[in-house]
Amino acid sequence: MTRRGILKTIVGLAAGLFVRRKIGVAAPAVPLRQPALIAVDIEWKKSIVRLWYPGRASTIALPIGERHFVNDVAWILRSSREEAQRQIENDGWIKPDGYYLNPPTGKPGYDTSLPPVAMALTARGGEFAEYLRDALKGVGDSVPVRIAGMDLPGFPELLERILDRKVC
């Protein structure tokens, strides 16, 4: 390649980077129109967040699913996943105010006086709520969130407290 060809390539790459950066900065992180509904489907391996806008939908995947809750309980009880699943179905609950952020360190904490199953579910539920809060930054607070896939007592209240929005 000649000197002129190299110079054209460098100028072209620089122009392309400038345009990409300019577009990236100018593009809003979230659409200007607010969604009509936010639906969260907690599946086995991951969770899917769907933002329903008039005429279209947007999807976000969260890396926490029902499997993570079950694995935490199985680890705490030193039991199989099947036994942990039965324990969650029969005796699983979340303490809505049992998960918090420590103000000095900013690290999450949870109520250690809870029974082991409730402690594991509360800690994982709080982590899930933080992921969801980060995914919904910039989306209007008046838009309700509908949860499907986990029917744990206290889970909607924990999400409402951390997300600071209505959860159904």
Sequence-separated (6 or more) residues with CB below 8 Å from residue 71: 81, 84
Q: What is the pLDDT of residues 9-20, one digit of tens each?
A: 544 434 443 333
Report the SS3 class of residue 88: helix
Question: What mean pLDDT value characterizes the chain?
Answer: 80
Domain limits of the chain?
1-30, 31-163
Kindly indicate the confidence band of residue 70, based on its pLDDT and cuts at 50, 70 and 90: very high
Q: How far apart are CA 19 and CA 89, in angstroms?
A: 53
- Which option is the CATH number for 31-163: 3.40.50.880, 1.10.357.10, 3.30.420.40, 1.10.3720.10? 3.30.420.40
Kindly indicate the confidence band of residue 1, based on its pLDDT and cuts at 50, 70 and 90: low
For the chain, counts of helices (H) and of strands (E): 5, 6
User: In this structure, what token pair is assigned to residue 133?
Assistant: 């809060």
Kindly indicate the confidence band of residue 31, based on its pLDDT and cuts at 50, 70 and 90: very low
Tally Cβ neighbours within 10 Å of residue 37.
14
